[in-house]
Amino acid sequence: MANRHTIILMQTSQNRATRTFMDYESISQAMDGICALYERKLRELSPAMRNITYDIEDLYNFIDGLADMSALVFDHSIQAYLPNDRQWIRNRMFNHLRKLAH
73-85 per-position pLDDT tens digit: 999 999 999 999 9
User: Is 0.85 topped by the overall pTM?
Assistant: yes
CATH code assigned at 12: 3.30.2260.10
Instruction: Give the Cβ contact number of residue 47 at 10 Å.
Output: 7
Number of domains within the chain: 1
**Residue 1 forms part of a structural domain:** no
Residues 44, 47, 52: CA angle, nearest 5 degrees: 90
For residue 42, being part of any structural domain is answered with: yes
60 within some domain: yes
Q: Residue 93 belongs to what domain range?
A: 6-101
pLDDT band at 87 (very low <50, low <70, confident <90, very high): very high
Is position 55 within any domain? yes
